[in-house]
Amino acid sequence: MIIDKDQFRENFEFFDKEIVLDIINMFVDEYPERMQKIKQNIADKDFDNLKFNAHSLKGVVSNFVAEEARAAAKRLEDKGANKDDSDLDALFADLEQKTQQVIDELGELKKEFV
C-alpha cells in the first residue's frame, strides 16, 4: 500500500464527503496532463518547469499521505533545482509507477465517501 489509509481518513474526517470526492476526482482527472508535462520537461531538459511541475505533484500526493510517491516527485524536483539530467528517465518511471498506485488506491478509498 502506498497511501497511509488510516492517516488519510484522519486527515479528511471532518471534510464533507463531496469535497473529498472532488479532491480525489480532480487529481485523477489532472493526472495524465501533469505526468505529460513532467515527461516533456525531462525530454526538453526544461529544469525550471521540471522543478515546478514535480513540486506541484509532490504537494498533491502529500495530501493523500502517499510518502513513496511524494519522495519520487521530490527526487525529480531536486533534479530540476540542480539542473541535473542524470537518471531522469528512471526517476520518471519510478514516479509514474508510484503515482499510478496512488490512483488505484484512491479508487478504492472513494468507495468510502460515496
Buried/exposed code over 4-19 (b: 16+ C-beta within 10 A; e: otherwise): eeeebeeebeeeeeee
Q: What is the pLDDT of residue 103?
A: 97
Longest dimension (CA), the chain: 43
| pLDDT of the chain, 114 residues: tens digit per residue | 999 999 999 999 999 999 999 999 999 999 999 999 999 999 999 999 999 999 999 999 999 999 999 999 999 999 999 999 999 999 999 999 999 999 999 999 999 988
Domain count, the chain: 1
Q: What is the pTM of this model?
A: 0.94
| Domain assignment of residue 73, given as a range | 5-113
Q: What does the alpha-carbon distance between residue 20 and residue 34 come to, in Å, rounded to a whole number?
A: 20
Q: Are 50 and 35 in contact (CB under 8 A)?
A: no
The 10 Å CB-count burial string (b at 16+, else e) for 62-80 is eebbbebbbebbbbbbebb
Q: CATH number of the domain at 39, please.
A: 1.20.120
